[in-house]
Amino acid sequence: MSTLLLEAGCALQAERLAAVERIGRELAGPNADDVDRAARFPREAVDALRRERFLSASVPVELGGWGCGVAELGAMCEALAQHCAATAMIFAMHHIQVASIARHMGGSQRLRRYLEDLSERQYLIASVTSEVGVGGDLRRSVAAVEVSGDRFVLNKDATTVSYGAHADDLLITARRAPDAAPNDQSLVLAHRADTALEQTGGWDTLGMRGTCSPGFKVRAQGYADQVLPEPFAEIASRTMVPYSHLLWCSCWTGIASAAVGKVRKAIRAEARKKPGTTPPNALRLAELMTGLQTLQQSVRAACTDYDRICAAPGAKETLSSLAYAVRINNLKVASSQSAAQIVTQALLAGGIMAYKNDSPFAMGRHLRDVHSAALMVANDRLLATNASLLLVLKDD
Amino acid sequence: MGEAIRAIIREHGRLSVDVDTLGDEADLYEAGMTSHAGVNVMLALEDRFDLEFPDRMLRRSVFESVAAIRAAIEELQAEG
Band of the pLDDT at A277, cuts 50, 70, 90? confident
Percent residues over pLDDT 90 in chain A:
89
- Any CB–CB contact under 8 A between A309 and chain B? no
Q: Report the interhelical angle of B35-49 vs A379-389 (nearest 10°).
A: 20
Which of A96-100, A214-218, A319-323 has the lowest average pLDDT?
A319-323
Is A193 in contact with A175 (CB distance < 8 Å)?
no
Q: Is B79 an interface residue toward A (CB < 8 Å)?
A: no
pLDDT, tens digit (0-9, with 9 covering 90-100), for A177-220: 999 999 999 999 999 999 999 999 999 999 999 999 999 999 99
Average pLDDT over residues A312-318: 94
**Residue A272 confidence (pLDDT):** 86
What is the ipTM metric for this complex?
A: 0.80
Averaged pLDDT for residues A9-28: 95
Among the ranges given (A110-114, A153-157, A277-281), the one the predictor scored with the smallest mean pLDDT = A277-281
Residue B42 has pLDDT above 50, yes or no: yes
Each residue's pLDDT tens digit, B5-39: 999 999 999 998 999 999 999 999 989 998 889 99
Specify the pLDDT at position A1.
47
Candidate from B29, B55, B56 with C-beta closest to A184: B29
pTM over 0.80: yes
Q: Does A237 touch chain B (CB under 8 A)?
A: yes
What pLDDT shows up at residue A7? 76
pLDDT score of A244:
98
| B46-54: long-range contacts, CB 8 A cutoff, minimum separation 24 | B46/A392, B48/B4, B48/B8, B49/B4, B49/B73, B49/B77, B51/B76, B51/B77, B52/A394, B52/B76, B53/A392, B54/A394, B54/A396
| pLDDT value of residue A18 | 97
Nearest CB partner across the interface for A394, out of B30, B55, B61: B55
